[in-house]
A and B are shown apart, each in its own frame.
Chain A
Amino acid sequence: MERPGAGALAAVIAEVLPRFDAQQPPQASAELYADLLIDSRRFLMIIRGLERRLNVEIDDEDLLGVDLITYGDLVKFVERISAEASVPQNE
């Protein structure tokens, strides 16, 4: 079964990078900058797209201690954000 965070990420990257095929996401080891041409401005566009799709607000604190070098790093980050977003606030 496809993980919701990973699916949302692939869809958002496809919006930002027209040549990106959301049905065939890259290997986890593919580098965001060197291989996918994601710079800090495109990263911001991806963050905004994720906020829209996952209905969350990604804040400075969410990025504390995070390194985003590979596609796998980004998938892990998005899965964490998406899991936190699905937890009810009162719990």
Chain B
Amino acid sequence: MNRGNGASAEQAGVSTWCNFLFDFPDHYARSTASTNRFAYTQGVNVLPQQPLSLMKQSNDTTHPDIAIPGPVLKLYASYRPTLLRRAKTLEERLGTSARLYFKFEGANVSGSHKLNTALAQAYYYQKAGVKHLITGTGAGQWGTALAYACQRFGLACTVFMVGISYRQKPQRRTIVELFGGEIHESPSKLTRAGREALNRDPNRIGSLAVATGEAIELAREKKDTARFAVGSGETCVLLHQTVIGNEAVKQCKRSETSQIMSSLAWAPAAILPASACPSCVRGASLGGTSSSWRQSRWRARR
């Protein structure tokens, strides 16, 4: 089979993200029902802290696919398409006659799938006039990816890394610094959230919640130039990860594979975007092409 490792980005031909909100508009409507909870606060600027383009992506139920901007595609081409590997041992262990495949997303400069969204976010924030991104990271993959992406788009980057990981993985700290980022062991003394956490946690074990809290606090202090960026939990982040699934569909088509189980080495948190995307699962496993399935949905909606 063609494992995809010898193909160029052009051959993989992925130029869009798969917008799953288009496929699940009812779910979107339910999940965003207004709660009408407003605190009476004056002087609030209603501009979202995220760029408008990312807000649109997180709330778009009308476009089946979203074009990947040229500068992001160009940077994707430095490490994509990623390997599509057959999981023969897993097939044997499961005793299945199906062929199982996984995508390996660890072979890039940041070491994880996080780069797929870090590059996209850095691009959009830079376009929106932001000069500095601030974030929290647990084991460091997201912080590394964001530091690299910020360097590529000329942004400053500050990372708060969970204390125990900061000490256990000094190489992560070094890589963030190599990419020009500033990295702090969290809890830190830089923020009120960090100082309060230090009182409770003198051994500086830390947590992602505290690291994130520190990042948000610093971003609010520097709101004229800086923003808080996040590597998971936002709909647009899932959208950016669908490049994995879209690419898998293309690679499987080339090898005439009709059944897919998508997964990601080193990245269990990102299984959803690769496998839950309709263009991957339904398009391939129903025996049709992803585009024909989505085109039928598109016609039905119009």
Residues of chain A at the chain B interface (Cβ within 8 Å): 31-34, 37-44, 47-48, 58-69
A39 touching B46 by the CB < 8 A rule? Answer: yes
A60 to B57, CA, bound (A): 13
B47 close to chain A: CB less than 8 A: yes
Mark interface residues in B24-66 (1 if CB within 8 Å of A CB, else 0): 0000000010101010111111111101110110010000000
30 A–B contacts from the bound complex (CB under 8 Å): A31-B43, A31-B44, A32-B44, A33-B38, A33-B41, A33-B46, A34-B38, A34-B42, A37-B36, A38-B46, A40-B46, A40-B55, A41-B32, A41-B59, A43-B46, A43-B47, A44-B48, A44-B55, A48-B56, A58-B52, A59-B127, A60-B51, A60-B128, A63-B47, A64-B128, A67-B45, A67-B47, A68-B47, A69-B43, A69-B45
Contact yes or no, B48 A40, CB < 8 A: yes
B46 in contact with A68 (CB, 8 Å): yes
A33 touching B52 in the complex, CB below 8 Å, given contacts A63-B128, A64-B129? no
A67's nearest neighbour on chain B, judged by CB, is B45
B153 to chain A, nearest CB (A): 13
Q: Which B207-250 residues have a C-beta within 8 angstroms of A?
A: none
Question: Is A66 a contact partner of B47 (Cβ separation < 8 A)?
Answer: yes
Contacting A at CB under 8 A, from B42-100, are 42-49, 51-53, 55-56, 59
Which chain B positions have C-beta within 8 A of A63?
47, 52, 128
User: In the complex, A68→B42 CA distance in Å?
Assistant: 12
| Cβ contacts under 8 Å, B53 to chain A | 59-60
Q: How large is the interface on B (under 10, 10 to 19, 20 to 34, 35 or more residues)?
A: 20 to 34
A18 to chain B, nearest CB (A): 11
Cross-chain contact B47 with A37 (CB below 8 angstroms): no
Q: Which of B40, B41, B44, B129 contacts A65 (CB 8 A)?
A: B129
Please give 9 more A-B residue pairs, beta carbons under 8 A apart, in addition to A34-B44, A39-B46, A59-B127.
Answer: A31-B42, A33-B38, A33-B41, A40-B55, A47-B52, A60-B52, A61-B127, A62-B52, A64-B129
**Interface membership of B124, Cβ < 8 A:** yes
Q: Is the pair A68, B45 in contact by a Cβ cutoff of 8 Å?
A: yes
Write out the residue numbers on chain A whose beta carbons fall within 8 Å of the beta carbon of B52. Answer: 44, 47, 58-60, 62-63
A64 to B129, CA, bound (A): 6
Which A residue sits closest to B129, measured CB to CB?
A: A64
**Ranked 6 nearest A-B pairs via Cβ:** A33-B44, A40-B48, A60-B128, A64-B129, A43-B46, A32-B46
Q: Contacts A34-B44, A60-B124, A69-B45 given: A44-B59 contact, CB under 8 Å?
A: yes
Chain A residue numbers with a CB within 8 Å of B128 are 60-61, 63-64
Closest chain B residue to A65, Cβ basis: B129
Q: Which residues of A contact B55 (CB under 8 A)?
A: 40, 44
Q: What is the CB-to-nearest-CB distance from A30 to chain B, in angstroms, rounded to a whole number?
A: 11
Whether the Cβ atoms of A43 and B48 lie closer than 8 Å is yes
A42 to B239, CA, bound (A): 21
| Cα of A66 to Cα of B55 in the assembled complex, Å | 17
- Is there an interface contact between A34 and B47, defined as CB atoms closer than 8 Å? no
The interface residues of chain A lying within 8 Å CB-to-CB of B32 are: 41
What residues on A are CB-neighbors of B47 within 8 Å?
40, 43, 63, 66-68
> Are B38 and A39 in contact (CB-based, < 8 A)?
yes
- Kindly state the separation between the CA atoms of A63 and B285 in the bound complex, as whole angstroms: 43
